[in-house]
Amino acid sequence: MNPETLAQEILAVIAPIAAALRPGEETDITASDIVLERPRNRDHGDWASNIAMRLAKRLGTNPRELAQQIADGLVNVDGIAAADVAGPGFVNIRLDAAAAGALAKTIVDAGETYGSNDSQAGRSINIEFVSANPTGPLHIGHTRWAALGDAIARLLAASGANVAREFYINDAGAQMERFAASIVAAAKGEPTPEGGYVGGYIADLAQRVIAARPDFTELADHDQLLVARELGYEYQLAEQQASLAQFNVDFDVWFSERILHADGEDGGPSLVDQAVDRLREQGHVFDEEDAVWVRTTDFGDDKDRVIRRSNGEYTYFAADAAYYLNKGDRGFEHKIYLLGADHHGYVHRLKALAGAAGDDPEKDIEVLIGQLVSVGGARLSKRAGNIIEMDDLREWLGTDALRYSLERYPADSPLALDPELLQKRTNDNPVFYVQYAHARTHNVARNAGDSGVDRSEFVPETLTHETESALLGALQEFPRLVAFAAEVREPHRIARYLEELAGLYHRWYDNCRVIPQGDDPIESVHRTRLWLNDATGVVLRNGLQLLGVSAPERM
């Protein structure tokens, strides 16, 4: 019996009680009003609900008396072994072994779909993350957002949302000109220009440019900059894409900033030009001192924003506005931005922009700010010189350990990783602990097959050991946890859940045998325990998949 079914059974018990207490009145009680939680002390049962305390005032009765009426009704429900009242009006419910154990077969039958839910169904969500300038390698800060952004997208998709992962390529503006000038200087053996980019990777790009254009140094200065900018951009972006792919992060959309500034069809206005006009139509644009402003203070911003300067040049805010509007034009009703620790000032700005565009700043846009991450003993990049590269971290610590560790903590908490711990193959290493539990489920299944234990029989009422009850209870929680983690954008809840599940599985393994001892015969309980073993493997694998981490079958 899953929580949704149990909630419906509780509702069926409550309905006649409410009708008797409030004859002729509509109480409007639904199953969604019934919150079920797992008691910390398993002696208190499998589930607990505070529904009696929530309804007592509305129904004009005492919470504890109402709880007792509910408990008396629940003991007559098939699959419920006991129900009693605790404290001021909690209803504690214990399922019978067959009802609780039936979950194991449900999970195995569902396979990779177990945990999926429809809590985000019907939502079209654009999640933008990483979005680095294409002027250098991805670094440690990008690595954290790559892991978190991808995991959030996986959670949203598993919860039924239509999700697009988007990378905004900052390929317009002064940084691209400095990038080009740096490559040209390296190609000519000249010093890096002031404000330019340094590092061995610039020299490497320069050599690639020369190889592609042997006539490079013979070109006019303007043409040298143009060729260096375009080829350098192409090569560096390809490196970033390769780095992300090796980190198990794939984007659905690579959006070029240049699109926003390009002329429209038949030489018409650009998307940036159009953005100003569209915001003006919403009534939040005004002209002052020959400049064009957006009245973002109407939506909580600390000051109004200039969108076009008095000299006719657009500000960065204009590109932000055009980009935001373009996302809506592409059908994304909800936009999530994942920004670095130095972008706190963007939160109010982007939310105000959503309001000025006619959207709901509290509903249609979400801005998440990540905090800094450090790795003890990490060395600066040999190529870039002043950063810790994503590729170096991945090659040093491994994709699985790095992703899992970055996703194991809330995004808004500073994070210091211990490389020595992450490279250990012991239970002290959280990712190893979880992956080992998954591998153990496969080892148990292989050994069971060799011993003649199969899943030809399923008798859930035999799963009576306390460790089986605890393990089944945790497995039951997975779909609800996936939905909640998606709603609050917190992948770390999945990681912590998997660690708890692994611990419960290891304790079950120590106490309950799938393979009979010695010459003992194979019984129903052994075959049924194999179902429970395999169900645990399914959930561990599905959880790791949500984090973009592998689930090895042997370790």
Reported as a single tens digit per residue, the pLDDT across 500-515 is: 999 999 999 999 999 9
Q: Can you give the pLDDT at residue 552? A: 97
CATH number (domain holding residue 281): 3.40.50.620
- pLDDT over 90 percentage in the chain: 75
388 is a domain residue: no
464 near 99, Cβ under 8 Å? no
Helix (H) / strand (E) element for 125: namely: strand 124-128
Same domain, 150 and 238: no
Laid out side by side, the sheet with 285-288 consists of 285-288, 291-294, 305-308
Q: What is the mean pLDDT of residues 108-113?
A: 97
Q: Can you give the pLDDT at residue 100? A: 86
Same domain, 448 and 533: yes
42 is a domain residue: yes
The distance from CA 150 to its chain's CA centroid, rounded to whole angstroms, is 6
**What is the distance between the alpha carbons of residues 167 and 529, in angstroms, rounded to a whole number?**
46
Q: In this structure, what token pair is assigned to residue 273?
A: 């030009």
**What is the distance between the alpha carbons of residues 60 and 71, in angstroms, rounded to a whole number?**
18
Q: What is the mean pLDDT of residues 124-140?
A: 95
417 is a domain residue: no
Same domain, 541 and 450: yes
Pairing of strands 80-86, 90-95: antiparallel
Reported as a single tens digit per residue, the pLDDT across 255-311 is: 999 999 998 888 889 999 999 999 999 999 999 989 999 999 989 888 899 999 999
**What is the distance between the alpha carbons of residues 232 and 210, in angstroms, rounded to a whole number?**
11
Same domain, 208 and 236: yes
Tell me which of 385 and 157 has the higher pLDDT: 157
Laid out side by side, the sheet with 124-128 consists of 253-256, 162-169, 124-128, 334-339, 365-369
Q: Can you give the pLDDT at residue 413? A: 87
The residue among 343, 373, 403 that closes a domain is: 373
Same domain, 437 and 541: yes
Same domain, 308 and 287: yes
Q: Can you give the pLDDT at residue 166? A: 98
Reported as a single tens digit per residue, the pLDDT across 415-431 is: 888 888 888 888 899 99
484 near 553, Cβ under 8 Å? no
401 is a domain residue: no
386 is a domain residue: no
26 is a domain residue: yes
Same domain, 155 and 185: no
Q: Can you give the pLDDT at residue 69? A: 93
The residue among 246, 275, 294 that closes a domain is: 246
Q: Can you give the pLDDT at residue 346? A: 84
Indicate the pTM of the whole model: 0.90
Q: What is the mean pLDDT of residues 472-497?
A: 95
Q: Can you give the pLDDT at residue 5? A: 85
CATH number (domain holding residue 466): 1.10.730.10
Residue 512 gets which letter from DSSP?
A: -
Residues 6+ apart with CB under 8 A from 485: 155, 491, 493, 494
Q: Can you give the pLDDT at residue 528? A: 97
Residue 79 — very low, low, confident or very high, per pLDDT cuts 50/70/90? confident
The most confident of 11-20, 346-355, 438-447, 473-482, by mean pLDDT: 438-447
Residue 388 has pLDDT above 80, yes or no: yes
555 is a domain residue: no
CATH number (domain holding residue 42): 3.30.1360.70
The residue among 358, 373, 388 that closes a domain is: 373
Same domain, 62 and 164: no
Number of domains the chain contains = 4
Q: Can you give the pLDDT at residue 37? A: 85
What's the whole-number average pLDDT of the chain? 92
Phi/psi of residue 134, each to 5°?
Answer: -80, 45
Residue 385 has pLDDT above 80, yes or no: no
Residue 28 has pLDDT above 90, yes or no: no
Same domain, 143 and 260: yes
Same domain, 303 and 201: no
Residue 231 — very low, low, confident or very high, per pLDDT cuts 50/70/90? very high
- pLDDT over 70 percentage in the chain: 99
Q: Name the H helices within 60-199.
A: 63-74, 97-110, 140-158, 174-188
Residue 150 has pLDDT above 80, yes or no: yes
Helix (H) / strand (E) element for 319: namely: helix 316-329
Q: Can you give the pLDDT at residue 24? A: 79
Tell me which of 83 and 378 has the higher pLDDT: 83
The distance from CA 103 to its chain's CA centroid, rounded to whole angstroms, is 26
Amino acid at 274: Q
419 is a domain residue: no
249 near 150, Cβ under 8 Å? yes
Supply the range of the domain harboring residue 108. 103-119+424-546
Same domain, 440 and 535: yes
Residue 27 has pLDDT above 80, yes or no: no
**What is the distance between the alpha carbons of residues 371 and 415, in angstroms, rounded to a whole number?**
7
Reported as a single tens digit per residue, the pLDDT across 311-351 is: 989 999 999 999 999 999 999 999 999 998 777 778 888 99
Strand partners, 83: 93
Same domain, 365 and 513: no
Reported as a single tens digit per residue, the pLDDT across 304-318 is: 999 999 998 999 999
Amino acid at 408: R
SS3 345: coil
Residue 152 has pLDDT above 90, yes or no: yes
